[in-house]
Amino acid sequence: MTRNGKLRKTPFNSRHQPYGLDKKAGRTGEKTVLIFDLGGVTFDVSLLTIEEGIFEVKATAGDTHLGGEDFDNRLVNHFVNEFKRKQKKDITGNARALRRLRTACERTKRTLSSTTQTTIEVDSLFEELCMDLFLKCMGPVEKCLRDAKIDKSRVDDVVLVGGSTRIPKVQQLLQDFFNGKELCKSINPDEAVAYGAAVQTAILTGEGDQKVQDLLLLDVAH
């Protein structure tokens, strides 16, 4: 708590709290964890160590202009151009048509991200349209490791947070980068923010059960 009673801000995002509680039991020694947080509008990477309930952030990186909406925009723009090419009509001036198209594109993206079997042609098209954005996600991961002076081989766990991490190609690129390491998907991306915020509030206010109170957050060194 600060002197005026407000919660202390830390670079360690509240989305990441559930991982600490979930993994604490039965694990000893220091663990190095990379949090890959790809949401709807922003992208954040955090590298931290966890030992005996102490979370210490070693480095952070990210892109405030990269997220799921960018993937949606690629799909929308593609189909606008396809409609113009085939029907000789431009729907960019029709707000209602664009809303319906965006809704359909968002639904398509979610379907491609949640099912193991889908139309190969559509899946391939989505990856082709967004591949440069997917590859762009790897830059902050490399920067985070470089700033922390930690080799990727020393990372014990890679934790996925944020709805856009459900995209298979994003997971594949990340897994390939870490030489086939199994990714931690135990956090529900849609529930992580609310649950983590509640845990962090309990820590900073001194309320909550002993499991929560045993955790300590340390700010990243500047």
Compute the Cα dihedral for 40, 97, 91, 123 and give only its sign: positive
Domain boundary among 133, 167, 187: 133
* pLDDT at residue number 221: 44
Domains contained in the chain, number: 2
pLDDT, position 117 = 53
d(C-alpha 212, C-alpha 42), whole Å: 28
Answer whether 62's CB lies under 8 Å from 220's CB. Answer: no
Residues in contact with 188: Cβ distance below 8 Å, sequence separation at least 6, in sequence order:
none
Question: Which pLDDT score, from 0 to 100, does residue 204 have?
Answer: 54
Domain with 145, as residue range(s), is 14-66+137-218
Residue 202 has pLDDT above 90, yes or no: no
Which band of pLDDT confidence, cut at 50, 70 and 90, is reported for residue 47? very high
Both 206 and 126 in a single domain?
no
- Rounded CA gap, 156 and 179, in Å? 12
Q: What is the CA radius of gyration of the chain?
A: 20
Q: What is the pLDDT of residues 158-190, one digit of tens each?
A: 999 888 999 999 999 999 999 999 998 876 665
- Does 62 reside within a domain? yes
Give residue 38's identity as a one-letter amino acid code.
L
Chain segment 106-161, per-residue pLDDT in tens = 988 888 887 655 555 667 889 999 999 999 999 999 999 999 999 999 999 999 98
Write down the pLDDT at residue 222: 40
Q: What pLDDT does residue 112 have? A: 80
Q: What is the pLDDT of residue 196?
A: 55
Q: How far apart are CA 30 and CA 181, in angstroms?
A: 18
Q: pLDDT tens across 4-33, in order?
A: 333 333 444 445 555 544 454 455 688 999
Same domain, 109 and 197: no
β-strands 43-51, 54-63 pairing: antiparallel
Residues 87 and 166 in one domain: no
Same domain for 149 and 167, yes or no, is yes
Residues 163 and 194 both lie in one domain? yes
